[in-house]
Amino acid sequence: MKKFNVIKIAVLLLSIYSINGLSVNAQVITSEEIDSLVEKTKQTFEVPGIAVAIVKDGTVIHSKGYGVRSLNSKKKVDENTLFAIASNSKAFTTASLGILVDEEKLNWDDRVIDYIPEFRLYNSYVTEEFTIRDLLTHRSGMGLGAGDLMIFPDSNDFTINELIHNLRYLKSVSGFRTKFDYDNLLYIVAGEIIARVSGKSWEEFVEERIMKPLEMNNSAGNFSRLKDRSNIADAHAPVEDKIEVVDSYYLQLTSAAGGIYSNINDLSKWVIMHLNNGKFGKDLDKNLVSEKVHREMWTPQTIMRTGKNGQYNTHFKAYGLGWGLRDIKGYKQVSHTGGLPGMVTQVTMMPELNLGIIVLTNQQSGAAFTSITDQILDSYLGITNTDRIQENYERIKSYTEYANKITDEVWNEISAQQENNISEQINIDLYAGTYKDNWFGEIVISIKENKLWFVSKRSPKLTGEMLYYKGNTFIVKWNDRSMDADAFVMFELDYSGQASGIKMKAISPKTDFSYDFHDLDFNKVK
């Protein structure tokens, strides 16, 4: 009996180890279990291809591709398949600035106008006080994704100088440094500071000062700079409820906010460096950034709202410098996601567990990477009896039903108008013309075959037929059906009854926030 108890205790001690005084279950998910998890995720969320890597204690313990790069080619995903990592590029921008901080070429709290004198925001006080740190922490006072239509979708032709100039037209929706609202444009401005200080483009700087030292040999600052394009994942999205290959996002202007192409093999090296507080190399004898700079990147800068504590018992959530931060079962979690049309990704690190998880996908279902990451995390945290795939499936199903109810009501109303020939009674000549928004430029509302058409001069993908809805409101149905961004177009009339302006708003709550139609204010110019 005593011998049995000794064995029992020994087994228990082997299955539990302590980190910083907290007990963690040592029984982790196996590679075979990950294989099953990813295959089930692929099927549940209709993702053609996924790549997953796990880094533990400085070693890559799992690195594998699943499914196909493209539904067209059917070529397999492997650990070297390149994906657009989208906003996971932001941490490369903050690391680049951190390198310049270490070199004493700038400071986090330097004013932006000291490096970009033409930089202006809507409020003059904010302009004067705005720092490099503010560029990186989503607390400018501008709304969620404000101005993203200058970079999204990727057919537009705005330059960096135009983008910087147009920031002055984006009105504040909250107090400066009082609220978190995710922003892309200011990261592009941060990339421009790197270029002006270093004398190199953002892409050159990142490739030479980060990717080359870490031996991220297959990665590049954007698609155009890839040396080998033989192993790249295509973007996929639902088009009329069927998953299809869609145009990949290649706009070079956005590199500092979301332009990098990489793979799990290269990103594992990036993660290992971070888990070693900026050190890398065989004996950790090299520094990409100092520990001081690295600590600043992982220090809360902007407080974010949290939901219910949930199974992860999360109490606090914040944004650092290019990284999201929160507590998970008493541990610090450092993570970020990235999303572009047809491709979404996630990088997650638990520093106290010396654990990193990378998930890259070629379909725009965030539920897929969330399910995989969280199920793997559960195994390291000793959380049992969870089914993250089913949880996320139910969540997405419920939200989709809610969104579909809203859009179905709109389209049913339009069908009723057409059946009753009401739309034929509308004098569409009142609405035709050219309209201009200060930062987005001109659109043309034209008449073709007795129908109104919407065409953006600066963003050609924003083209579509306009269908009568109610009053002076139409619906624009974009020709590109992968965008899921059909929008209300409400005309304002002058005293003579002629259209004088336009306001817009996305119909579906599922529409990506980067379609910030609600920020537009068009006035008729001819």
Model confidence pLDDT, tens digit, residues 72-120: 999 999 999 999 999 999 999 999 999 999 999 999 999 999 999 999 9
Do residue 190 and residue 299 come from a single domain?
A: yes
Asked if the structure places residue 377 within a domain, the reply is yes
Both 267 and 188 in one domain: the answer is yes
**Are both 226 and 337 inside the same structural domain?**
yes
Let me know whether 369 and 409 are in one domain: no
Amino acid making up residue 398: S
Last residue of a domain, one of 323, 356, 386: 386
Residues of the domain holding 500? 400-524
Same domain as 104, residue 30:
yes
What pLDDT sits at residue 309? 75
**What pLDDT is attached to residue 307?**
82
Kind plus residue range of the DSSP H or E element containing 189: helix 185-198
Q: How far apart are CA 40 and CA 61, in angstroms?
A: 21
Within a domain: residue 445? Answer: yes
Q: Does the residue 165 lie in any domain?
A: no
Confirm whether 6 is domain-assigned: no
9 SS3 class: helix
- Please tell me whether residues 196 and 47 are part of one structural domain: yes
Q: Are 508 and 406 a contacting pair, CB within 8 Å?
A: yes
- CATH number of the domain enclosing 133: 3.40.710.10
Domain at 413, CATH number = 2.40.128.50
Give the residue carrying structure tokens 């002058």.
494
Model pLDDT, residue 10: 34
Tell me, yes or no, whether 274 and 325 share the same domain: yes
Q: Tokens standing for 246? A: 């869609």
Q: Which residues of the chain fall below pLDDT 50?
A: 1-26
Kindly state whether residues 41 and 122 are assigned to the same domain. yes
Q: Of 362, 386, 410, which closes a domain?
A: 386
Q: Indicate if 485 and 367 belong to the same structural domain.
A: no
Give the CB-side neighbour count of residue 521, counting CA atoms within 13 A: 6
Q: Is the domain of 356 the same as that of 409? A: no
Into how many domains does the chain fold?
2
Q: How many CB atoms lie within 10 A of CB 66?
A: 22
pLDDT value of residue 7: 31
164 in a structural domain: no
The answer to whether 101 touches 131, Cβ cutoff 8 Å, is no
Q: Is residue 170 part of a domain?
A: no
**Two tokens, residue 510:** 């599922």
The tally of CA atoms less than 13 A away on the side-chain side of residue 298 is: 20
Q: Are residues 378 and 431 in the same domain?
A: no
pLDDT of residue 423: 66
- Report if residue 311 sits inside a domain: yes
Last residue of a domain, one of 386, 415, 447: 386
pLDDT for 319 equals: 98
Q: Which backbone phi and psi does 346 adopt, to 5 degrees?
A: -150, 140
Residue 425's pLDDT is what?
A: 76
CB-CB neighbours of 51 under 10 Å:
29
pTM flag (> 0.75)? yes
Neighbour tally for 25: CB within 10 Å:
15
CB contact at 8 A, 83 and 261: yes
Reading the block at residue 344, the tokens are: 């979404």
* 411 and 379 within one domain: no
Tell me, letter by letter, the H, E, C secondary structure of 75-99.
Answer: CECCCCCEEECHHHHHHHHHHHHHH
User: How far apart are alpha carbons 427 and 450 in whole angstroms?
Assistant: 10
**Does 148 fall in a domain?**
no
